[in-house]
Every structure is written in C-alpha cells, then in structure tokens.
A and B are shown apart, each in its own frame.
Chain A
Amino acid sequence: MYSQGLTDAKGQQEPAELLAAFQAKIDREEKIEPRDWMPDAYRKTLIRQMSQHAHSEIVGQLPEGNWITRAPTLNRKMILLAKVQDEAGHGLYIYSATETLGVTRDQLTDELLSGKAKYSSIFNYPTPSWADMGAIGWLVDGAAIMNQVPLCRASYGPYARSMVRICKEESFHQRQGYEIMTVLARGSKAQKDMAQRALNRTWWPALMMFGPSDKDSTHSAQSMKWKIKRFSNDELRQKFIDATVPQAEHLGLTIPDPELKLNPETGHYDHGPIDWDEFIQVLKGNGPCNKERLQARIDAHDKGAWVREAANVYQQKQQKREVA
C-alpha cells in the first residue's frame, strides 16, 4: 500500500520514496524524532493518541482528588497527594511530547475543555468509598502499566521517553492501591465488604480500558505497523487478567465474573462477555460522571485564569525593569 503513496492533510500525495524510507526506518527499530519527515497520518494518529493519553492523566486526578480531604489517616493523605501530583506530572510529560508534533498546548486544552477530545472512559465512574482508592491504584493503574510498558518502545521518540519516566513512577501507584485493598481485605467484615464492592465496581470498566475488542478496533492494524502499538487490545487485556486474578485470590476477594476460569489448555483465564454498549455510552459522554469531570476541569481552568494572568503581568514588569 505504501508504493501508492498516501494523501496528506492538504490533499497532496506523499512521495512514495519518503513513505518507504519512513517505514524502513521503523522496521529497523529506529526512532522517529520531532523534526524528521513523517506521514501526515502518522502525525495525526500520534496527536490523537498522545493527547487522549495526556487528558486521561489530567482528568484521572479527579476521582482520587475527591478523597484527599477524606483519606483515613495522615499517611494515606500524603500518599494520595503524591500520587495525584504524579498524575499531573504525567499529563505534563505527555502534553510536552505531543507539542513536538506541532500542536499547541492551548489547542490541546481547548479540545479537552470543549468536550471535543476524549480521555479514558474509566475516569467517568464515581469513587464513592475509600476502597475505590485501593481498587483504582491496583486495577486502573495496573491496567495503565500493562498499556504503557510496551509504549516505552513506541516508534516516536518523545512519546517513548515520556513513557519510560511514567512507568518508573507508576508502579508505586499500583502497589499503594493493592496495599489499601490488602489492609481492607484483612480488616473487619465491613471493611472486606467495602473492598469487594469497590472491586465489583472497578473490574469491568478496568477491562474496558484496553479498548474495543481486536475485531472492532479501527486504529490497531496501522498502529502496529507503525510500531506505536506492540500488542493488540485483547492481548494486553488477557495479560492483565492473567496477572490480576491470582492477586485477587490472594486477598480472598472475588472477581465479579461468574464465567471467569483458568483454561488448562491455553494457560490463560477465559472471561465472560464485556458490555461494550456501556463502553460506547461512556465514551459518548453518557457515563455516570462525564459532565461532572469536565465541569471540574472547566472550573479549575477558569478559576486559575488570574494566576496565569498575574504571572504574565509580572514577567512584563520584570522585563521593563531590566530594560530601564
């Protein structure tokens, strides 16, 4: 297909030699860097995927930020603050990597706040109990790690490098979540029930984080060819299930899937059907917290406007002083 050339954003044919050289470079496992020539479609795919990823980190602060003031101990509060601060940092790493593709931060922010951009569907679910902080760290950050580890080898250099930093920091997130679940699962009956209910709430949405099933995934084949993706959605989902089920069993918690069982022939866990209608609804904006999450971001942006304004005025004042 590359010999035919692709059409870029301006409707111009991209030269077949350039396309072939580009793919050859990727096939040799060489990284693509910001100012290298790249097909328009590659750039667009990256901007879409990376900005969604960055937005997810930013919106991902909200369900947990919700519990900072109500964390059960000072220790838990400090840990949660550090985790939420990390998420902000992760958002910034990826935003800055996305900007190397020629899109501005303002554009990215506008797309999020106007509701045009998507972010991970998982953050549109509520976190009604403290145990949800455990379930999120353990399962949501766990699923994110499964996704992000292969992205450390993505063909686009700035994206891959931001993922290396993020993965280093992310394992603390998963462990602290599992530790919250461990303490609850070994506590009173009420505490164990609370942990179980959080697992029930989070399990299916966590599985949906890997995206649509391979047969329905629209972007996968091209992304694999470009080595942005290394594993398919279903492969990563299966890895996550295989890793997580024994962890739940260890705590005496039950995965809320009656069809889940180890398949002795494949060595993998078979699981029940995922409710993709729910996934699509949440993506469309009809999840339990979509409106609340977006509004929280809009409010934060608006309420922070004076800080940005003051910083700019201060800079101008300093500059004048230097000149004088």
Chain B
Amino acid sequence: MAEMKLYEVFIRAKSGLNHRHVGSLHASDAQMALLNARDVYTRRKEGVSIWVIEAEKITASNPEQEHEWFDPAEDKVYRYPTFYPLDKEVENM
C-alpha cells in the first residue's frame, strides 16, 4: 500500500500571531491531517488554529541560489532609516 500523503502543519499559537510551521505528518486526506495535527502538535494548548497543506503543493525557493535570489535586497541601503543622517537637534524621528 502506498504511503499516505505528507502534510505540513502550521499553528497559530494565539490570536494576534501568525500561523507558524511546526512539522509534518502523514494522512490519507486533509481532514485526517487536521485531526492528527491537533493530537500530535497541540496536546498542551499550543494553538487556537491549525492549517495543513500537502507538502508537494508548496513551491519553495532554491537554497543553493540563496545569494543571487536575495541579492536585490542587499545593495539598497537607502531602504533603511539609518541611511539618512539626522541633525543632532532633531534627535529622534
């Protein structure tokens, strides 16, 4: 029998926070994945909301191209407030 599908599990710890990846599990369908995620990953009030998604449906960037891929963010120092000097008299802005 073929292995059950792999699901990635995301949990919101409490309202106001993002869902965060916590791990994965195998299940035959999304409903079972949700039930198992509750039993495996929230036995101690770790969450108020769970997302599950089939692992194969996730599209990811390639870590081997990390440098080139994120390069456009590296040479734009003017995106940071510290790029702009302030006169001492103005103090905080």
B26 and A105 form a contact (CB under 8 A): yes
* B34 smallest CB distance to A (angstroms): 13
* A112 smallest CB distance to B (angstroms): 15
- In angstroms, Cα B2 to Cα A75, docked, is 40
Residues in A whose Cβ lies below 8 Å from that of B2: 312
Residues in B whose Cβ lies below 8 Å from that of A174: none
B23 and A35 form a contact (CB under 8 A): no
B3 and A315 form a contact (CB under 8 A): no
- In angstroms, Cα B25 to Cα A105, docked, is 10
Residues in B whose Cβ lies below 8 Å from that of A254: none
Which of chain B's residues has its CB closest to A106's CB? Answer: B3
Residues in B whose Cβ lies below 8 Å from that of A315: 28-29, 32
Interface with B: A96-104, A179-187, A204-212, A270-278, which one?
Answer: A96-104
Q: Which of B6, B27, B43 contacts A89 (CB 8 A)?
A: B43
> Does B57 sit at the interface, judged by CB under 8 A?
no
Q: Which of B3, B39, B64 contacts A105 (CB 8 A)?
A: B3
- In angstroms, Cα B24 to Cα A312, docked, is 18
Residues in A whose Cβ lies below 8 Å from that of B32: 311, 315
B6 and A169 form a contact (CB under 8 A): no
* A172 smallest CB distance to B (angstroms): 9
> Does A85 sit at the interface, judged by CB under 8 A?
yes
- In angstroms, Cα B39 to Cα A31, docked, is 28
* B69 smallest CB distance to A (angstroms): 13
Q: Which of A85, A96, A314 contacts B23 (CB 8 A)?
A: A96
26 interchain pairs, CB-CB under 8 A: A35-B64, A37-B63, A37-B64, A85-B43, A89-B39, A89-B43, A92-B23, A92-B25, A93-B23, A93-B40, A96-B23, A104-B3, A106-B3, A161-B23, A168-B44, A169-B43, A169-B44, A305-B1, A308-B1, A308-B4, A309-B1, A312-B1, A312-B28, A314-B29, A315-B29, A315-B32
Range of interface residues on A (Cβ < 8 Å): 20 to 34
A99 and B4 form a contact (CB under 8 A): no
Chain A contact residues, majority secondary structure: helix
> Does B62 sit at the interface, judged by CB under 8 A?
yes
- In angstroms, Cα B27 to Cα A96, docked, is 12
B4 and A311 form a contact (CB under 8 A): yes
Q: Which of B22, B26, B39, B60 contacts A35 (CB 8 A)?
A: B60
A89 and B63 form a contact (CB under 8 A): no
Residues in B whose Cβ lies below 8 Å from that of A168: 44
For residues 38 through 93 of chain B, which have their beta carbon under 8 Å from a beta carbon of chain A? 39-41, 43-44, 60, 62-64
7 new A-B pairs (CB below 8 Å) besides A92-B23, A93-B40?
A: A36-B63, A92-B40, A99-B24, A161-B23, A169-B44, A308-B1, A315-B28
> Does A259 sit at the interface, judged by CB under 8 A?
no
- In angstroms, Cα B63 to Cα A35, docked, is 6
* B77 smallest CB distance to A (angstroms): 23
Residues in B whose Cβ lies below 8 Å from that of A37: 63-64
* A166 smallest CB distance to B (angstroms): 11
Which of chain A's residues has its CB closest to B46's CB? Answer: A165
Residues in B whose Cβ lies below 8 Å from that of A162: 23
Which of chain B's residues has its CB closest to A93's CB? Answer: B23
A 68-89 binary contact with B (CB < 8 Å = 1; else 0) = 0000000000000010011001
